[in-house]
Amino acid sequence: AATVLCEAFAVLKIPVYCMGFQHIHGFDAYQTHFVRWKNTTEERMSILSARPDGNNLDSYSIRYATEVLRKRTEKHKLMCVISDGLPSHYFTGEDGIRENTAAIQGARASGAEVFGIAVDAGNTGTFTQMYGADHFISILRPNDLADRAADLIKTVVKDW
């Protein structure tokens, strides 16, 4: 999903930053920065090294990305959060959902538009709770990502 979005933004010449949590050999999660605004082919290829296998902390990543976006001078800022539906390895159930919701609201209060992409997430009720019904999509097949994401982005940025 991250590769598809970064490739699309490269074609459109839209600056993008791609980061994510991953764990190494079951230990603590590390935040890895794959694409850093230039969105070069080499940066996009680095996404293939991602090992998204637990230990995520979405609310921290959202807050970190909010700070990264605050430093940008662009008038419009868009944040996409790709998730399997479990917002945190460290917070259980409702606590993780509450932390994510607060982080999303904080990002929106800072001027960023935030939307989520649920990848094979099963129950999407938590996405509605965290992002709002019109600010997330659920993807079960990779073929659906580009069209569904494009439609969502159009909806989110329609007033820009």
Say what the pLDDT of residue 26 is.
Answer: 59
Say what the pLDDT of residue 65 is.
Answer: 92
The whole-angstrom separation of Cα 40 and Cα 18 is 12
Give every CB contact of residue 83 below 8 A, 6+ residues apart in sequence. Answer: 56, 58, 116, 117, 118, 119, 121, 127
Q: Worst-scoring range by mean pLDDT, 10-14, 23-27, 109-113?
A: 23-27
Say what the pLDDT of residue 152 is.
Answer: 76
Mean pLDDT of 120-125: 73
> What single DSSP character describes residue 91?
S
CB atoms within 10 A of CB 12: 8
The answer to whether residue 11 scores a pLDDT higher than 90 is: no
Of the candidates 35, 29, 95, the one whose C-alpha atom is nearest the C-alpha of residue 56 is 29
Q: 115 or 158: whose pLDDT is higher?
A: 115
Residue 153's pLDDT band (boundaries 50, 70, 90)? confident
Mean pLDDT of 78-93: 76
The whole-angstrom separation of Cα 117 and Cα 123 is 13
Say what the pLDDT of residue 89 is.
Answer: 64
Say what the pLDDT of residue 154 is.
Answer: 76
